[in-house]
Homo-oligomer: A and B are copies of this chain.
Amino acid sequence: MIKLHHLNKSRSKRIIWLLEELDLDYEIVAYQRNKDTFLAPDELKQVHPLGKSPVIEDNGLVIAESGAITDYLITQYGNGKFAPKSGTAEYIDYQQWLHFAESSAILPLLLKMFVAKDGAKTQFLEGYADAEAAKIMSYFNSRLEGKRYLVNDTLTGADIMMSFIVEIIKNAGQLAHFSHIAKYDEQLQSHEKYHTADELEAKYD
């Protein structure tokens, strides 16, 4: 059975969502962040030396990195769903979103969050983070214009990966400025399993 090493308030919730959509048997091994430092506990290092989450175990493999996990689970268990056919233009678009979510998109958004949380007066970092985050949000918003989903008008791993980015934007109170992202958020929430993942996240928090 697939084992998901799950940390509360982490990127791991979207893997629960994916596992639920794939209707797979899986077990959640839950870990809690330190309440003061918000850091992951040391036990996670026994699963993977980086001590991060999500990490899955399946078929004797230990797999880290949300994008790689998403790719693996859909390739292995998707039965042609949740990803476009390999070799098509849509597949390449899909791969770009998998990478975009955890590279170009998340970096400025986290930077902005970190700088705000730190509170120190920076020379240029705050302005840089604000400008780059604004660029990412407005690009993402414009790509969603007139669309229900990112690729092929159906739910794919790209949407599940980007759902975490939508949450960051929402938690930063920015959704009101980006109407297409707001509408997309509603579309994601129309999936029953999205809420199952929310409930499981809450249960293990």
Contacts and interface: CB of A to CB of B under 8 A. Distances in A.
Contacts of A114: 111, 125, 128
A123 B64 CA distance: 30
A145 B124 CA distance: 39
Interface in A62-96: 63-68, 71-72, 75, 86, 89, 92, 95-96
Contacts of A71: 95
List 9 tightest A-B contacts by C-beta distance, closest first.
Answer: A102-B103, A65-B99, A67-B99, A118-B125, A68-B96, A68-B95, A120-B122, A68-B99, A118-B123
12 contacts: A50-B136, A50-B139, A63-B96, A65-B99, A65-B103, A65-B104, A67-B67, A68-B96, A99-B99, A111-B114, A114-B128, A120-B120
